[in-house]
């Protein structure tokens, strides 16, 4: 059975690579995710673009209120995404996948510099693309990078891995009566004040009509189910 989508972008939090503590590099946890992603690709025939976060290594907001320069903090975070991307590449290729790490922050000694036409060519050859380095510039989040790269690489949908089942009416960890939305329009999300992604990324997806699925990344089979067209998490259209 083939997938519903020819090409998808999967945005994942670096915390997934930190194991139970959500810190550092836990190669057992990275290996488990790699197996899930690889099997989803093999079973559906969908071309896969994975964009890395760095929450397991460093978050710029962690130094908010200190004397650390914001731009410097963001560059440190970008370097963290490259570390995560290289770790994921190692685990995917151990499984037999062919991958390329492309970074918007040029570090040619360890990975390719992101060039759109090069990335598209890799996808045509059925290589898994792992994107790192965020936007390559400070003051932009990986949410914005994922929205932009999904558009640049002609992805049909953006999958955003979350620690919860999708988008709720309130924080489910604080409000036991919080309701899970199965489907929303961008306008409904704005009117309800729901946090889907940062404002820049949200506006880009809304303007360019790219749908977003927010889902629980900790359920191993969710990625393949979504690619096959099953209604998992929250769909924002």
Would the annotation count 142 as a binding residue? yes
Distance (Å, whole) CA 47 – CA 129: 9
Dihedral over Cα of 178, 179, 183, 185: its sign: negative
Residue 139 assigned ligand-binding role: yes
134 labelled as ligand-binding? no
209 CB neighbour count, 10 Å cutoff: 9
Angle, to 10 degrees, between the axis of helix 27-44 and the axis of helix 70-94?
60
Query: 154 a known binding residue?
Result: no
Q: Which long-range contacts (CB under 8 A, 24 or more apart) does 4-7 make?
A: 4/227, 4/228, 4/229, 5/46, 5/155, 5/156, 5/157, 5/227, 6/46, 6/47, 6/156, 7/46, 7/47, 7/48, 7/49, 7/123, 7/153, 7/154, 7/155, 7/156
* Residue 135 annotated as part of some ligand binding site: yes
75 is in an annotated binding site: no
**According to the annotation, is 74 in a ligand binding site?**
yes
Q: What angle, rounded to 10 degrees, do the helices at 199-208 and 142-152 form?
A: 20
Backbone angles phi, psi at 202, to 5 degrees: -60, -45
DSSP state of 101: E
Q: Tell me: is residue 233 an annotated ligand-binding position.
A: no
168 is in an annotated binding site: yes
The tokens of 159 are what?
A: 């999958």
136 is in an annotated binding site: yes
Residues at the binding site for UMP are 74, 135-142
**Binding site for ATP: residue ranges?**
55, 59, 163, 168, 171
Binding residues: 55, 59, 74, 135-142, 163, 168, 171
């Amino acid at each position: 059975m083939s997938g519903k989508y020819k090409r998808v972008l999967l945005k994942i939090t670096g915390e997934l690579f930190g194991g139970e503590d959500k810190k550092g590099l836990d190669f057992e946890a990275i290996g488990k995710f790699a197996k899930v992603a690889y099997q989803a690709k093999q079973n559906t025939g969908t071309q896969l673009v994975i964009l890395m976060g760095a929450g397991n290594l460093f978050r710029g907001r962690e130094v908010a209120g200190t004397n650390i320069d914001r731009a410097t903090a963001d560059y440190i975070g970008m370097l963290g995404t490259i570390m995560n991307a290289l770790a994921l590449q190692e685990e995917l290729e151990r499984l037999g996948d062919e991958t390329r790490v492309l970074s918007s922050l040029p570090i040619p000694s360890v990975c390719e510099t992101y060039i759109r036409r090069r990335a598209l060519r890799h996808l045509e050859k059925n290589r898994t693309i792992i994107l790192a380095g965020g936007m390559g510039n400070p003051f932009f989040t990986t949410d914005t990078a994922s929205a932009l790269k999904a558009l640049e690489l002609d992805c049909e949908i953006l999958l955003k891995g979350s620690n919860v089942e999708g988008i709720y009416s309130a924080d489910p960890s604080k409000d036991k009566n919080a309701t899970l939305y199965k489907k929303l329009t961008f306008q409904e999300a704005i009117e309800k004040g729901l946090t889907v992604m940062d404002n820049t990324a949200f506006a880009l997806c809304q303007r360019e009509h790219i749908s977003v699925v927010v889902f629980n990344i900790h359920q191993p089979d969710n990625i393949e189910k979504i690619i096959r067209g099953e209604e998992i998490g929250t769909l924002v259209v």
